[in-house]
């Protein structure tokens, strides 16, 4: 008896959002998408009942990518969904699941297994946040008022976090089936866009930073002094001080490069086997796997740093040295707390921590206090992790989402198209696609990883992480393409049959 037969009664009965019967009008899709987005913003502003104070964010600098809100019902954000996807992709890549995603029965099992893993990840991530360290401190007043003690309040907070994790799972499913685009992508855009708008327009008293336009207003009216622009101090003020010109340049560069990369493609000519003159092209984009695999890479890094913060919180030593089994382990990690967030300053977790901003590596400008060789080693590890991780997860993404040569060849064959000059056969089409898809997938994944690190190193407007900005630009571009496609199918109903959208 295989594991599939054993687990099928449970996995096939996992709750899910029913698919629409027939075509969903474009306006209704927009209404569902807007409604879920409003609900998302609403939930990110509801604080956990029983919380004494927001405490330190367990995700730290990864919060913008993993969405959600510190100390709110959506404390976990999309973290459990992404982590479950990583586990499934690794298991699928090693062919340990034995599931054929083209088989409807196996599709149900795969989706059920993914939801079960999300529930497990909600527990594995939420429990340490509530019961370990000072991430989510419980309120003594609430404990006395309810008469359940601090432990009871902590379990009450975990129940709210658990419900929030399930809500964001089903909100993502609602958008995927009834709305436009992806729920995960939409939540990332929502969080990053807030930071970007604040980075441009924030004024004193609104937000925790001075906006780009207000900074230049202060410079022009003489409220902020740059000093001699040709001197290092003046240049520093112009680039990373009130002027923020370096951040603006990085933001614009990322926007232009991503939009350009989305338009670079290899187009494979196609012709219809039965309809004369009916021709088309299959585009293999440079960023073929999209930038979504970057979420998986950064989520893996976030989980590693989360583990380090838990170990540091459990140690509770004034020196910040991680302790395990009563033994001090400085080689594993040495932490310091600033602004309520613990950050590694030495040890293994320091070298595995991504470069978040220019303050993490510009030792020559007096920002970083570590030795230059330590900083260069950390940059090298981050670059290697992102470039190799981007390429590997891009391959997994392509294979598990039906974008590989074999699955794509089957889709082209089923649509009645063929490559001119080649025999009409899925095997032949697959061999042609194998010349382009694997190579472009690796190059695109590595390029996205490199861009994410470079954007982090130089900083962006609104202190948005490079990966977050990269994801926002690319997801917005794809969302625009999907909206244009939806409008085209609304204007020409026959197009829906060609795209498989039903009647």
pLDDT value for 94? 64
Question: Do 60 and 147 have their domain in common?
Answer: yes
pLDDT value for 119? 93
Residue 231 lies in a domain: no
Question: Do 259 and 366 have their domain in common?
Answer: yes
Alpha carbons 376 and 494: distance in angstroms, whole number: 57
Question: Do 435 and 332 have their domain in common?
Answer: yes
85: exposed, middle or buried (Cβ count in 10 Å: 0-12, 13-18, 19+) = buried
Question: Do 273 and 154 have their domain in common?
Answer: no
Alpha carbons 161 and 350: distance in angstroms, whole number: 29
pLDDT value for 206? 57
Cβ-contact 435, 223 below 8 angstroms? no
| Assigned token pair, 449 | 């990883």
Domain range enclosing 89: 1-12+27-179
Residues of the chain with pLDDT under 50: 495, 497-500, 502-503
Question: Do 259 and 377 have their domain in common?
Answer: yes
Residue 463 lies in a domain: yes
Question: Do 150 and 282 have their domain in common?
Answer: no
Per 3-state DSSP, the chain is made up of helix, strand and coil in percentages (nearest 5) of: 60, 5, 30
Give the end of a domain, one of 179, 196, 231.
179
Alpha carbons 48 and 321: distance in angstroms, whole number: 31
pLDDT value for 133? 67
Residue 140 lies in a domain: yes
Question: Do 163 and 281 have their domain in common?
Answer: no
- Torsion, Cα 353 357 362 363, to 10 degrees, reads -50
Alpha carbons 333 and 350: distance in angstroms, whole number: 7
Q: Identify which of 108, 91, 403, 447 has the alpha carbon closest to the alpha carbon of residue 264.
A: 447
pLDDT value for 318? 64
Residue 53 lies in a domain: yes
pLDDT value for 93? 64
Give the end of a domain, one of 179, 210, 226.
179
Question: Do 251 and 103 have their domain in common?
Answer: no
Residue 471 lies in a domain: yes
Cβ-contact 416, 273 below 8 angstroms? yes
Q: Report the CATH number that the domain containing residue 371 is assigned in CATH.
A: 1.10.3370.10
Neighbours of 384 (CB within 10 A): 12
Give the end of a domain, one of 179, 205, 220.
179
pLDDT value for 229? 65
The total number of structural domains in the chain stands at 2
Residue 431 lies in a domain: yes
Q: Max CA-CA distance within the chain?
A: 79
Question: Do 259 and 170 have their domain in common?
Answer: no
Alpha carbons 139 and 154: distance in angstroms, whole number: 9
pLDDT value for 167? 94
pLDDT value for 502? 47
Cβ-contact 242, 249 below 8 angstroms? no
Question: Do 160 and 262 have their domain in common?
Answer: no
The model carries a pTM of 0.78
Residue 22 lies in a domain: no
């Amino acid at each position: 008896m295989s594991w599939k037969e054993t687990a099928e009664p449970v996995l096939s009965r996992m709750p899910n959002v029913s698919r629409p019967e027939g075509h969903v009008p474009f306006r209704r899709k927009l209404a569902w998408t807007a409604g879920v987005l409003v609900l998302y913003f609403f939930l990110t502003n509801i604080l956990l009942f029983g919380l004494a104070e927001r405490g330190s964010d367990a995700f730290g600098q990864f919060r913008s990518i993993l969405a959600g809100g510190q100390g709110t019902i959506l404390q976990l954000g999309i973290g459990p969904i992404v982590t479950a996807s990583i586990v499934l992709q690794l298991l699928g890549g090693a062919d340990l699941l034995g599931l054929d995603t083209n088989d409807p029965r196996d599709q149900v099992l795969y989706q059920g297994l993914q939801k079960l893993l999300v529930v497990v990840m909600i527990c594995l991530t939420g429990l340490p946040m509530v019961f370990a360290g000072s991430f989510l401190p419980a309120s003594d007043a609430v404990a006395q008022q309810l008469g359940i003690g601090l432990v009871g309040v902590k379990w009450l907070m975990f129940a709210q976090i658990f419900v929030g994790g399930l809500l964001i799972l089903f909100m993502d499913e609602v958008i995927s089936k009834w709305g436009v685009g992806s729920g995960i992508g939409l939540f990332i855009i929502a969080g990053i866009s807030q930071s970007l708008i604040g980075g441009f327009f924030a004024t004193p008293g609104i937000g925790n930073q001075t906006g780009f336009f207000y900074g230049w207003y202060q410079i022009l009216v003489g409220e902020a002094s740059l000093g001699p622009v040709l001197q290092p101090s003046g240049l520093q003020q112009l680039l990373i001080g009130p002027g923020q010109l370096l951040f603006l340049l990085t933001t614009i560069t990322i926007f232009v490069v991503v939009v350009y990369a989305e338009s670079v493609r290899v187009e494979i000519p196609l012709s219809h086997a039965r309809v004369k003159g009916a021709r088309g092209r299959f585009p293999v984009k440079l960023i073929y796997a999209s930038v979504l695999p970057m979420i998986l890479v950064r989520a893996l890094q976030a989980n590693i740093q989360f583990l380090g913060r838990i170990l540091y919180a459990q140690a509770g030593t004034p020196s910040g040295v991680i302790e395990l089994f009563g033994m001090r382990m400085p080689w594993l990690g040495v932490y310091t707390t600033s602004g309520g967030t613990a950050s590694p300053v030495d040890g293994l977790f320091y070298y595995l921590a991504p470069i978040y901003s220019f303050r993490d590596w510009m030792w020559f400008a007096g920002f970083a206090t570590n030795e230059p060789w330590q900083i260069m080693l950390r940059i090298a590890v981050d670059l290697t992790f992102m470039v190799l991780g981007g390429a590997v997860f891009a391959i997994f993404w392509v294979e598990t989402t039906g974008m590989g040569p074999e699955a794509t060849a089957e889709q082209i064959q089923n649509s009645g198209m063929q490559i001119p000059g080649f025999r009409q056969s899925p095997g032949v089409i697959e061999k042609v696609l194998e010349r382009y898809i694997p190579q472009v997938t690796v190059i695109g994944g590595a390029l996205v990883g490199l861009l994410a690190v470079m954007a982090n190193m130089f900083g962006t407007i609104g202190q948005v992480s490079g990966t977050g900005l990269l994801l926002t630009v690319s997801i917005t571009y794809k969302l625009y393409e999907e909206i244009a496609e939806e409008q085209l199918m609304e204007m020409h109903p026959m197009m829906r049959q060609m795209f498989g959208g039903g009647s």
